[in-house]
Structure 1
């Protein structure tokens, strides 16, 4: 697939990346990464769990071994919830960077050094979502993530039950 993409794009500076999960047999994962590198992948993002390990600890040691087995950039992914964890994972794995998913959904201002989502960030999202016509489910879901650490259990129950943009706006204005 990588070769096909490379053959279709004339710009040699066009980057092609892949994101993978580790395999139970780490040698198979390393082999896959080396083959991907040989076909022209620009960088690899490695999620440090197998498909079955949904909430198990991340195998950062495996990511480090993968990084040591290829010469292209490797990005570490998995269970990074704040800036300190991002720095620790980066140091621990020796990778070229980190990829954050749920941690940034919960706190889009993480890389600006905030421990929890600032209210300005929440209102920025509201304004962007309204301007772009973001579907309600997406709009609401992102707000639920952002407000996770700054709302009580009771507030979450009330907010999660809201079913319209106007109800969400009223809630945010009143609280």
Structure 2
């Protein structure tokens, strides 16, 4: 989605749009977008920079961290970013980098493409571990069977005799 700054008549400028899954490459083998990503927000022109804030709505399918079956995630991601022209950036780069500067993107010309911003926000908001359901039992350590689907007859893991006392310990609240 490209926003032309020259045609903006008022500031803040509200915008909304969507991206087909093929337009946003997450570059993760086990993760894909299920359907169109929706984005809505507003763009505010300032003297040196242009601020963009809004919310991204996406549905992602990834692999369950325990059983490797499909896990679906619904993401609602609020975001804020600042865009600065290359000329203004080169003037400011002599100063010390601050934490707020990490949210600044550089653009050339009079158009801002928010596609990369949307991609970054989705990647940053993916959980480290995703589960197909909260009580997923995962795979059997011995035979590899999905314990959500079948109960295998594998014996429980042998416990080091030095830790056996902990197994028998009952804690009451």
With the shorter chain as reference, the TM-score category is under 0.3
Which of the pair has more CA radius of gyration? Answer: 2
Give TM-score, length-normalised by structure 2: 0.20
Give TM-score, length-normalised by structure 1: 0.20
